[in-house]
């Protein structure tokens, strides 16, 4: 069978090109470990408020991470490098990020105004507020609905009284990441009868909340709060009586810490003489 010379040359060229491509792929394959490390670094960047807007590119091959992109200052470049080095299995970091003092992160594309990191932040804020409400003394805390968007929290559902509505609003506002609260809780007009109040009191007295649970809940409530240095406050509980100790920045912070502890379910009283400022 006779084949035209031009066709032979074309076939040979294609074969050589495919061979070269396959050789390149075989030389530097990206393993599952490379992909996992690359994803871990990128995800950390996406969650970090200092790096998420910079569109940094990451590639990992055989334990070597290559970082590319632009940031506004040297500290952010160093942060990106330190994050990559902290990933298990990454032995070498080639930090090619360029520092440009007048660098302005690109605006998000239409429809992508909320980044992955921002959505994670909002989900964490919502979870923190729900945890506060569910662990509080508010009768309707467990069924109040919480939605967070761009720093604004919307509360919907029912509250037994205006006081409960106000407390829920303050608990939400004093949460890390919250800029404003749209408190749409509806105060239930149906007031419980005195007999019902007595039944509720008896039930509350029968509910034996473990001291360890109270301590954990108070600590987490303080840690979630934006206006309280929760890490500087020690918490202990004995028979439902909570003791707060440590140093705070002001009397206002001290009062807020006490209020937050008092609103946790199972807390009978709060001792704060050792909480100083």
Confidence of residue 245 (pLDDT cuts 50, 70, 90): very high
Whether residue 42 contacts residue 52, with contact meaning beta carbons closer than 8 Å, is answered with no
Sequence ranges of the domains in the chain: 32-99, 116-187, 208-276
Express each pLDDT in 2-57 by its tens digit.
Answer: 545 555 444 454 444 444 444 444 445 668 889 999 999 998 998 888 888 788 99
Looking at domain 208-276, its CATH architecture is 2-Layer Sandwich (3.30)
Q: What is the predicted pLDDT for the residue at 267?
A: 94
Q: What is the predicted pLDDT for the residue at 28?
A: 52
Q: Which residue has the tokens 């002001």?
A: 250
Matching fold, domains 32-99 and 208-276:
yes
Q: Which residue has the tokens 């491509």?
A: 21
H/E stretch holding 155: strand 152-156
Q: What is the predicted pLDDT for the residue at 81?
A: 95
Domain 32-99 CATH assignment equals 3.30.1340.30: yes
Whether the predicted pLDDT of 115 surpasses 80: no
Core vs surface per residue 255-268: b (16+ CB within 10 A) or e: ebbbebbbbbbbbe
CA–CA dist 42, 73 (Å, integer): 19
CB atoms within 10 A of CB 22: 10
Whether the predicted pLDDT of 173 surpasses 90: yes
Calculate the CA dihedral of residues 238, 172, 228, 139 and round it to 10 degrees: -10
Calculate the CA dihedral of residues 82, 84, 89, 90 and round it to 10 degrees: -90
% of the chain at pLDDT higher than 70: 79
Q: What is the DSSP letter of 232?
A: G
pTM comes to: 0.66
Q: What is the predicted pLDDT for the residue at 21?
A: 44
Whether the predicted pLDDT of 156 surpasses 90: yes
Express each pLDDT in 43-100 by its tens digit.
Answer: 899 888 888 878 899 999 999 999 999 998 999 999 999 999 999 999 999 999 999 9
């Amino acid at each position: 069978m006779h084949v035209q010379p031009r066709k032979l040359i074309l076939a040979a060229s294609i074969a050589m090109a495919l061979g070269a491509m396959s050789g390149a792929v075989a030389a530097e394959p990206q393993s599952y470990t490379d992909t996992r490390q690359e994803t871990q670094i990128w995800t950390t960047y996406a969650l970090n408020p200092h790096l998420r807007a910079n569109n940094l590119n990451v590639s990992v091959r055989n334990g070597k991470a290559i970082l590319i992109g632009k940031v506004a200052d040297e500290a952010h470049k160093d942060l990106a490098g330190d994050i990559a080095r902290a990933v298990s299995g990454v032995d070498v970091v080639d930090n090619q990020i360029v520092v440009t003092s007048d660098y302005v992160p690109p605006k998000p594309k239409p429809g992508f105004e909320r980044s992955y990191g921002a959505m994670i932040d909002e989900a964490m804020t919502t979870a923190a507020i729900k945890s506060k409400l569910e662990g509080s003394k508010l009768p309707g805390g467990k069924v109040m609905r919480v939605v967070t968007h761009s720093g604004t929290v919307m509360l919907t559902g029912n509250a037994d009284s205006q006081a409960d509505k106000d407390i829920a609003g303050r608990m939400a506002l004093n949460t890390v990441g919250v800029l404003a609260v749209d408190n749409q809780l509806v105060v239930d007009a149906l007031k419980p009868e005195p007999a019902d109040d007595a039944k509720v009191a008896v039930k509350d007295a029968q509910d034996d909340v473990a001291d360890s649970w109270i301590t954990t809940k108070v600590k987490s409530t303080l840690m979630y709060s934006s206006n309280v240095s929760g890490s500087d406050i020690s918490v202990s509980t004995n028979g439902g009586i909570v003791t707060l100790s440590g140093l705070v920045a002001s009397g206002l912070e001290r009062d807020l810490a006490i209020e937050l502890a008092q609103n946790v379910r199972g807390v009978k009283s709060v001792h704060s003489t050792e909480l100083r400022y």
